[in-house]
Amino acid sequence: MSSQVDEIGRTDAEPPRKKRVSESPTGSPVAVPIDEGRASLQASSSGINGVNSPKTLNKEATVIVNDTLHVSREASVTVITNERATFRSPRPITMSKSLPEPRDVFGTAPLYLEDSSLPPTLTTAASTSCIDELTSPLPKAKGKGKAKPPKPPKPPTQKEIKAAKAAKLAAEKKMSPVQYAATLPDKWGEHVSKLPRNKLYLSGKCILYVWNEPSGSMQGTRNKMDILYKAGATLMTEYDPERVTHIVASLDTQKNVLQMCGIRKVTELPVHIKTVTWEWIVHQIQGINHTEIYYEPFISRMKQVSQAAKGEAAKDDASSSAKPSYLETSARKREETDDEGSPKKKAKHGSGFQPLQPPSLDASSSSNLDPLAEFYEQAKLMDEFEVEEDEEKPQAVTPSEASEGSKTVSGRWQCDGAPVSSGVCPNQDIVDKLLELREIHSARQGSDDLWRTFSYRKSIANIKAFPKRIESYSGARSIKGVGDKTALKIMEIVQTGELERLKHARTDDIVVAQLFQGIYGVGPATAFSWYSQGLRTLEDVKNGKNGVSLSLVQEIGLKFYDDINDRMPRSEAAEIFCKIRQIALTIDAKLYMEIMGSFRRGKATCGDIDILLTRPTDDGKTHHDVMRVLLRRLHEEKILTYDLATPDDLDDLEATYRGLCQVDTAPGRRQRRIDILSVPYGSLGGALLYYTGDDIFNRSMRLKASLVPRPYIRCLRLLTFCRRARL
DNA sequence: GCTC
DNA sequence: TATCACG
DNA sequence: GAGCCGCTGATA
C-alpha cells in the first residue's frame, strides 16, 4: 500500500519557516499550489502509516504552510466570541424509555435524530426538521386556517355535491402530480387539522414523493400523496435539499429520482435525506417503527445507477479505485450483495441490521439481563446532568437563512403537529450575559477560571432549559447548577438588564486572548503569554513579533483562522461526508460510517465534521487498516488538506484523526475542520445508544460536560464501569 | 463557579 | 515528563 | 475544603 515516508526527518534540519517544499518527502510529486491560500497539501497522504510520527508529518505541512502564510485577516475581533459558547438545543426532552430500533438497513446510512422512527408522540418538531425549526418563524396557528377550505355559503344539494365531486375528480385527473399536491391543503387541510397528533405519523417529515412516469391515470400517485399529506407529512413538490427529509421512491422510479433532484447519481443526495420505499411509509403509518426500508442506499445503489447511466460510472470507477485491485473486488462484492437482495429483502433478513445491534453490550456484560438495563441504571445514576449542552448559538440564524426558511414554508402546518419549545427561551437575555461571562472566564488561564467555566457551562445549560422566566432569587436558585453567585447575577440582569461585572471584565487582555485562542492550538496559556510579550493582533502573531514562535499546528490554525472559526452550511458537511463515505466504502464495503456532532443534531450549520468509523466483525475482519488507507485516499483526493493530529497508532481500532478538509479544490475553497474517529465495532452499540432518541440515555451519557461527541469512548468507560460494579 |  | 489544548 | 474530564494526544 503505502510508500514509506522515510526521510521526513530531514525537515528537521531546515528552518521550518522559510523552506519551500515542492516535492514530497517520498519523492513522489506533490502538488503544492502555494500561491492559492487554500492549497491542498498531501504530504501526509504518504505519511499516513505507522512508521511515521505525526510530528514529522506535520512538520512538513508547516513548511509549506509557512510559505503561504499570508493570513487574510480583517482583524475583526468580533469573530472571537467563538465556538466555545455552549447552548442548549431547543429540543425538548422526551421521556420515552423505548429504544428506537436500529434502522439502517444497510449499515451505511447514518442514523439521524430527525429521522427517528419513534412514534410521533415521542417525536418532536425540533427533532424532525431542523432547518425549518431553526429558520422559520413557525406560524403555528396560521397553517391551520390557511388550509381550511372556503365554505360555501349555502349547503349544496346532494346532486350538486355529486356533480362537484365528479368535476373535481375529473379535474384532478388532468392535474400533474405537482398541481395535485398543491390542492392537498384544500382537500385535506381541515381533516388533517382535526387529527390528533399521534395520528400524524409523518409529522415534520418533508417528503418528496417520486412518482412514476405518467404512464397511466396517476391515480396511485394521487392516492399516495393523499396518504402522505393526511399522515402529516409535508409534501414536497420539488427537490429542496435544505428541506426534504425523505425521498419516497421505488425501483422503477429510479430515473425520476435523479431527474427530480437534478442530480446524476443517487449518491449525490445529501446524506441527511433518507431514501425510502413506499413500504416504509406504510410501516410508519402502521406504527411499525422497527424497520426502515430503503429505496436506495446511496452507496450500494450507486453501481447500479451508474451502470444504467454508464458513462459517469466508468469515469468514477477509474478515478476512484484505480489502484489496489482489491478495491475492485470489494466494489463488485458490494454490487453482488446488492443485486441479490432488494432493500426490502435485506430489511427482512436483517443482514443490514447487524452493525446496529450493540453486540458489545451483551458480550461484555456479565449478566444475561437486558443489557440496556444497565444503561438505564447508569443513566439514573448520572442524572445530575440535566441538560444537554449544545454549542450552537440559536441566534446565529442569519437573516438570509431565516427568510429562506419562511419563504419555503410553502406547506404550512408542519409545525402544528409538534408544538414544542419554540426555540426562544424566556431567559435568553440572562443566558447571553452569562455566556459572555463564561467566555471571559474560559479565555483566562487561572485554574479557578477553568472551574468557573465548567460551572457556568452547567448552569447556563440548565437556565436555557428552564421553561419560564426567572423572576426571583429563589427561582434562580431552584435551577440546578445555579448557586448563590449566579443567582445574584441573574437577578441583576433581570432587574437592570445589565451585568455590571461584564463591563469591567472585558478588558483588553481578555479580548486579545480570545482573539488568539481562536487559533487552533492556542489556549489560554499561550494566548496570555503572547499578550504579555506585547502581541496584540493576529498580524503580530503572524510576523512572529518579539520572537514568538508557533507550533506547527498553530501555524495552520493561524493560516486558516477564519475558515476554522466559521461554520459551514449543513449541506457542505453532508457533501463532504458523502464523498468520504464513498471512498471509504471502496476500501471496505462493510464499513459502517456515521456523521455525528452538530450535523447529526440537525443543526443548520456545522462547526466541524465528525465522522465515526467502524466495521462489523462478524466475518472475522476488522477495520484495523482502514484508517491508514482512508487517510491516504482522502489526501490523494484532496479532500483532506492538512493534518492537525494523526492517530498515534493507525492500526488501532480506536483512532482519532483531526485535520482540515475541503469539499472540492476550487480556488478559495474554505478549509473545514474534520475529525475522523474509528472505534472498535463493539463500541458502536454505545455510540448508537448515545445518539438514539432516549433522553435518559442522552442526558446521562453526555457525561461530564464533555462537549465532544465521543460516545464510543464514553461507552467503553461505561462498560468498564458496569463490569467493575458487577452490574 | 457549584455541590457534597 | 509536564504542560497545553481539545472536543 | 475538596473535587469537579481524559487507560486524552501532541508538543516542547
Is any atom of nucleic acid chain C found less than 7 Å from the CB of residue A601? no
Q: Provide the β-strand partners of residue A690.
A: none
CA-based nearest residue to A111, from A462, A601, A438, A460: A601
- Asked if residues A701 and A722 have their Cβ atoms less than 8 Å apart, the reply is no
Instruction: Say how far A70 CA is from C1 C1', in Å.
Output: 35
Q: Provide the β-strand partners of residue A716.
A: none
pLDDT exceeds cutoff 90 at A69: no
Instruction: Please tell me the number of Cα atoms within 13 Å of A709 on its side-chain side.
Output: 29
Query: Could you tell me which residue, A18 or A177, shows the higher pLDDT?
Result: A177
Q: What is the DSSP letter of A262?
A: T
pLDDT, mean of residues A349-368: 28
Phi, psi of A297 (to 5 degrees): -65, 135
Protein-covered nucleotides of chain D (CB closer than 7 Å) are 3-5, 7, 9-12
Q: What is the DSSP string of A345-407?
A: HHHHHTGGGGGGS-HHHHHHSSS-S-HHHHHHHHHHHTTT-----B---GGG--HHHHHHHHH
pLDDT exceeds cutoff 70 at A697: no
pLDDT exceeds cutoff 70 at A37: no
- Asked if residues A394 and A50 have their Cβ atoms less than 8 Å apart, the reply is no
A216-247 per-position pLDDT tens digit? 567 677 777 777 887 788 888 777 777 777 88
Query: Which protein residues, judged by their CB atom, are less than 7 Å from any atom of strand D?
Result: A 54-55, 58, 451, 454-455, 551-553, 645-648, 654, 656, 704-706, 713, 716-717, 720
Instruction: Say how far A174 CA is from D8 C1', in Å.
Output: 64
A240-282 per-position pLDDT tens digit? 777 777 887 766 677 777 777 777 666 666 666 777 767 667 6
Q: What is the DSSP string of A600-616?
A: HTT-SEESEEEEEEE--
pLDDT exceeds cutoff 80 at A644: yes
Q: What per-residue confidence (pLDDT) applies to A635?
A: 94
Catalytic annotation present for A489: yes
Q: How far apart are CA A329 and CA A408, in angstroms?
A: 44
Would you call A615 exposed, middle or buried from its count of C-beta atoms within 10 A (0-12, 13-18, 19+)?
Answer: buried
Q: What per-residue confidence (pLDDT) applies to A208?
A: 83
A666-685 per-position pLDDT tens digit? 998 999 999 998 888 877 75
CB within 8 A of A80, min separation 6: which ones?
A511, A514, A515, A517, A518, A565
pLDDT exceeds cutoff 90 at A35: no
Across chain A, what does the average pLDDT equal?
Answer: 60
CB within 8 A of A269, min separation 6: which ones?
A241, A247, A261, A263, A275, A298, A578
Residues in chain A: 727
Q: How far apart are CA A727 and CA A720, in angstroms?
A: 10
Task: State how far Cα A686 lies from the chain centre.
Answer: 18
pLDDT exceeds cutoff 90 at A585: yes
With cut-offs at 50, 70 and 90, classify the pLDDT of residue A534: very high
Phi, psi of A399 (to 5 degrees): -55, -40
**Domains located in chain A, CATH noted:** 174-300 (3.40.50.10190), 426-506 (1.10.150.110), 518-564 (1.10.150), 566-720 (3.30.460.10)
- Asked if residues A114 and A125 have their Cβ atoms less than 8 Å apart, the reply is no
Q: How far apart are CA A700 and CA A380, in angstroms?
A: 7
CA distances from A142 to A138, A145, A403, A414, A625 (A): 9, 5, 17, 11, 55
- Asked if residues A646 and A556 have their Cβ atoms less than 8 Å apart, the reply is no
Q: Which of A312-321, A471-480, A556-565, A596-605 has the lowest mean pLDDT?
A: A312-321
Catalytic-role residue among A489, A542, A590, A603: A489
| Cα radius of gyration rounded to whole Å, chain A | 27
**Residue with smallest Cα–C1' gap to D6:** A706
Q: What is the DSSP string of A509-545?
A: HHHHHHHHHTSTT--HHHHHHHHHTT--SHHHHHTTG
pLDDT exceeds cutoff 80 at A319: no
Report if pTM > 0.90: no
| Most distant pair of Cα atoms in chain A: their distance | 96
Q: How far apart are CA A587 and CA A2, in angstroms?
A: 14
